[in-house]
Amino acid sequence: MRRTDTHYHLDQVPDPLGLLHRCERDQLALITPSMNPASYRELLALQAKSSTILQVACGLHPESIHADEEIEEALNLARTAQAVGEVGLPGYERKVTKRDVQVFTKFCRVAADENKALIVHAVHDQAEPALEVMLDCGVRKAVFHWLKANARVASRIVACGYMVSVTPEVTYRKRDQDLLRLIPKSQLLLETDGPWEHQGPYQGKASIPHWIDDAAQYAAAVYGCSLSSWWEQHEQNVDRLFF
Ligand SMILES: [Zn+2]
């Protein structure tokens, strides 16, 4: 059965094609968000070589600063992309600016107008302001990728019908475990955010999509279902958001 890693930056690994073939062999599918237009083009070229990439999303990583021309180009490309992302509001590398909110609003409008899935990076204090922008723009389909937020904000996101994703860190990190318990199984997605290096048992290694199997085992135990029925649910969630 297909198992999808819903957030993998395949263009950021040294041998993307090699990893893609390993995923193909092991029945792992990928949703690949992009960092900028160059990253988007690279991912489209990889998708042309393998049906393992279900969708390539077009976005601008919000932690980086982008030139006006790059923003315009990404917005134009996003209109015809399969999905929109990764976009959102910065929280780790720098403080959010008015311009960040304006850029995020523009991407939300594209997702709303074209009824495409939006892959959102907005963590901690930025999750709720991002939610407000999405609701104002009428975004219907979105995932708060690797969400870190308090219970009140997480519950608001769920009540709005959006999805939330967790990574293999859910297997050992209490913060992510508490979050998962607030998310109904029809609104949870799994991802690695690879090749990001996770902590705990994953420390020191670039993440590979195969690690979502650990997160799946954990989710199945929490929801009290078998691993195969969890995967069935998860893949339905993937289809509902992205197709
Ligand atoms: Zn990412």
Domain count within the chain: 1
Which residues in 129-194 belong to E strands, given as ranges?
142-144, 163-166, 188-190
Q: Are the CB atoms for 6 and 189 separated by under 8 Å? A: yes
The whole model's pTM is what?
0.98
pLDDT per residue, tens digit, the chain (243 aa), is: 999 999 999 999 999 999 999 999 999 999 999 999 999 999 999 999 999 999 999 999 999 999 999 999 999 999 999 999 999 999 988 999 999 999 999 999 999 999 999 999 999 999 999 999 999 999 999 999 999 999 999 999 999 999 999 999 999 999 999 999 999 999 999 999 999 999 999 999 999 999 999 999 999 999 999 999 999 999 999 999 999
Please name which of 97, 93, 81 lies closest in space to residue 36, comparing C-alpha atoms: 81
Calpha distance 91→62 (Å, rounded) = 9
Q: Please tell me the distance between residue 91's alpha carbon and the centre of ligand 1 in angstroms.
A: 13
Calpha distance 164→183 (Å, rounded) = 7
List C-alpha distances in Å: 26 to 9, 121, 133, 138: 18, 28, 38, 38
Q: Please tell me the distance between residue 193's alpha carbon and the centre of ligand 1 in angstroms.
A: 5
Calpha distance 183→195 (Å, rounded) = 25
pLDDT, residue 93, reads: 87
Using a CB cutoff of 5 Å, list residues around ligand 1, an ion. 86
Q: Are the CB atoms for 180 and 166 separated by under 8 Å? A: yes
Range of the domain at 83: 3-242
pLDDT, residue 81, reads: 98
The tokens of 193 are what? 């955010």
pLDDT, residue 99, reads: 97
CATH number at residue 123: 3.20.20.140
Q: Please tell me the distance between residue 86's alpha carbon and the centre of ligand 1 in angstroms.
A: 6
The one-letter code for the residue type at 201 is P
Q: Please tell me the distance between residue 8's alpha carbon and the centre of ligand 1 in angstroms.
A: 7
